[in-house]
Amino acid sequence: MSSPSAFIGPSKTAVAGLTPARERALIQRLRAANLRTTQPRIQLAHLLFGQGDRHLTAENLFSEAKAAGLTVSLATVYNALNQFLEAGLLREVIVDSGRSYFDTNLTNHFHFYVDGTGELIDVPPQSITITEMPKTPDGFRVSGVDVVLRLEPKSK
């Protein structure tokens, strides 16, 4: 009896939602960023970029990958995240000394950060307006403006 599978894609390991079309799109994206298109990168990129704006740590992504049936190592997750970061496909959010968050939202925006749970929530840029920026010290340029609004549960 022949396999009832509707199609046989190019991936060795099937990953939910990673259709051939989606895979081609991701390959283009990696190529455009000058990254070799390896299976781990394609699959991790799919998890990262396949569900809207996301904030996640390396451990988060590693867990997701395992849950999705991938067999990538933690080191590869770190490598991929750092390469994507350097390539401008991701942005880092620094809200906790001790843990790095990666953000797939590349547009200008800020964050709410819930201490305790570690949850990050985007704040659209229009909702915060910074006027009167201080003068930048000589010899430097401002490479980023981070605004973090720390949240605590309201004590009733």
What residues from 86 to 145 belong to the interface with DNA (CB under 7 A)? 97-100
| Tokens (6 digits) for 93 | 């959010």
Annotate 120-142 with b (16+ C-beta within 10 A) or e (fewer). Answer: beeeeeeeeeeeeeeeeeeeeee
Residue span binding DNA (CB under 7 A) among the ranges 1-9, 57-65, 106-114, 143-151: 57-65
User: Is residue 13 a contact point for DNA (CB under 7 A)?
Assistant: no
Under 8 Å CB-to-CB from 57, ≥6 apart: which residues? 99, 100, 101, 102
Residue span binding DNA (CB under 7 A) among the ranges 70-78, 105-113, 119-127, 148-156: 70-78
Site string (73-112) toward its own copies, x via CB under 8 A? -------------------x-xxxxxxxx----------x
Residue span binding its own copies (CB under 8 A) among the ranges 26-34, 45-53, 71-79, 148-156: 148-156
Hunting for tokens 């939602």 — which residue is that?
A: 17
Nearest approach in angstroms of CB 53 to its own copies is: 16
| Tokens (6 digits) for 131 | 């006027």
Contact 121, 111 (CB under 8 A): yes
Hunting for tokens 């190019």 — which residue is that?
A: 10
Instruction: Name the residues that contact DNA, by CB under 7 A.
Output: 31, 35-41, 57-59, 71-76, 78-80, 82-83, 97-100
